[in-house]
Amino acid sequence: MTTEALKFISDEIKSVGINYEFGEWSDSPVPDPYFIGEYIETPSLSESGLQEATFILTGTGRSSRLLLEKAKEEVERLFDPVSGKTAILPNGNGLAVFYSDTMTVPVDDAELKRIQINLQIKEWKVT
């Protein structure tokens, strides 16, 4: 996944008012809730330049599980599971981002609530 794809995803998530950073939260104070992104690439065997990845968006909050669910609904609307969100990136690559699924994540701290939202990423690299 290219840095241009990561920036596109970041800009889209932030555009709907979700507190988001890639990798780890670096600002203080930490908002409630906040979301962290990471990804897992799939080996590319395509001659078309297609690279696929699962983008994992993990939300953590203290106040309410409902706030995490509302953020999930925003992400699902943003990256519709059928039509997705597409773009031609500044580097010329094509990108398609689709909502895939969500799961609640158990946490040892009773005050914390956590949710994991998975997005499917398809990026066609221009060579």
What does the pLDDT look like over 48-105, one tens digit per residue? 889 999 999 999 999 889 999 999 999 999 999 999 999 999 999 999 999 999 999 9
Provide the phi-psi class of 11: left if phi over 0, else alpha when psi is between -120 and 50, else beta.
alpha
pLDDT digits over 85-97, tens only?
A: 999 999 999 999 9
pLDDT at 22 over 90: yes
- How far is 101 from 78, CA to CA, in rounded Å? 13
pLDDT score, position 100: 98
pLDDT score, position 110: 87
